[in-house]
Amino acid sequence: MENHRFSIVERGAPEAQVGGEYVSILGRQISKQTVRVGSTAVAAIVLSVTNKVLYKTALVSLKDYPFFLAQGLTFGYVIVYASFLLIRYRSGMVTRKMLALPKKPFIAVGALEALGLATGMAAAANLPGTSIPILSQVFLVWQLILSATFLKRRYTWGQIMGCLLVAAGVVIVIAGGTGSGGDVKTLENSGVLWPLVMIGSTAFSAGASILKEFVFRDSAERLNGRSVDIFVVNTFGSTSQAFFVLLLLPILSNLKGIKFQELPSYFGEGAACFVNMGAPEKDCVGAPVVPLVYVAMNLAFNIANLSLLKQSSAVVSSLSVTLAVPLSIWAFTFPLPYLGTPSTLPSGLFLGAAVLVTGLAFYNFSGKKLKKEAKKT
């Protein structure tokens, strides 16, 4: 039985799938599976940075309708993913057996993601903005706990220390850019409840990512070694999430200060702003090009991130996306269209990035050590 050993370019596929195929890079023999995972990780990081920048740009176009953008993506992606799924089914890439996989895990994924969204929005409404990304770093800790508990993954102390250093590096980067005591005072006034709610929201999201990893592992057994297509997971998971978000829509809209009875007119105005046609007295600069580019990039990022999770693990995909945080902050220091004056370089960027990279190195080398020890046994 495989122990699911991994490094930062973790080998998530069984040995039989690697097939002993290696390539020579700088005089070293590296498995093609490792190269594939590494390439996917790089793509996920680049797309994550680009996605964050474009999201900020899209909010300039839809500055009065951020809730429309978020819910539009939730429900719109069901149609997009289902369309890709249909195309892949007709081409034979998706089989009937894949479509017949048990639906309970997908329902659970959707429920957890919807709960993570609702609790995260509730906490965000009562917390200072600078504290939210810092508290969100607990996501990585939850993934370690949940994968060890439910997927029976083995971690060395070096890997655990590496993940904690990665989270600490991100905290240093973000905290170094606050430069204001106002947020600290607000955080103190928020008490214990809302920080705990934010931490709990990351647990829901981490649980959803671990469940997706379980789906890929379980499907390999049910499909005789063939893993389920990512668009099956995307379509069923997104459909479930959209259903639960629809149930929670009155609560979610209220958290954003929008009365439930006002939603039809709000979404109508948001759609008009999105296409930049007939929006009443709103300046939807850059629409529809900027929002559409963001939607396309967000779609590409989600596909790349799920592909990385499929090839490796939820923890590795999370580490890759975490690495994109300081890179994104650095990207905002450049003059970018629609964003006005560039941000200043955070004082803690270089120190935080150094701690983060050290954490990745710890995780990587500790994973290789665990792999060698397992081979000896």
- Report, as an integer, the average pLDDT of 157-166: 92
Tell me the C-alpha distance between 347 and 333, whole Å: 12
Q: pLDDT confidence of 128, banded at 50, 70, 90? A: confident
What's the rounded mean pLDDT across residues 188-200? 81
Structure tokens at 28: 């070293």
Higher pLDDT, 368 or 132: 132
Q: Would you place residue 134 in the very low, low, confident or very high pLDDT band (cuts 50, 70, 90)?
A: confident
Amino acid at site 131: S
| Whole-prediction pTM | 0.86
- pLDDT reading at 15 higher than 50: no
Q: What is the pLDDT of residue 375?
A: 54
Helix H or strand E encompassing 30: strand 28-31
State phi, psi for 26 to the nearest 5 degrees: 55, 40
Confidence of residue 110 (pLDDT cuts 50, 70, 90): very high
Q: Which long-range contacts (CB under 8 A, 24 or more apart) does 231-234 make?
A: 231/81, 231/84, 231/85, 231/88, 231/94, 232/85, 232/94, 232/98, 232/99, 232/101, 233/106, 233/306, 233/310, 234/77, 234/81, 234/84, 234/85, 234/302, 234/303, 234/306
DSSP 302-320: HHHHHHHHHHS-HHHHHHH
Residue 68: pLDDT over 50:
yes
pLDDT grade for 308, boundaries at 50, 70 and 90: very high
Each domain of the chain, given as residue ranges in start order, spans 1-60+154-184+313-377, 63-125+208-283
Which segment, 118-122, 279-283, 344-348, is predicted with the most confidence on average? 118-122
Q: What is the pLDDT of residue 9?
A: 36
Whether 337 shows a pLDDT value over 70: the answer reads yes
pLDDT at residue 83 greater than cutoff 80: yes
Question: Distance between CA 243 and CA 109 in Å, rounded?
Answer: 12
Q: Is the pLDDT of residue 11 over 80?
A: no
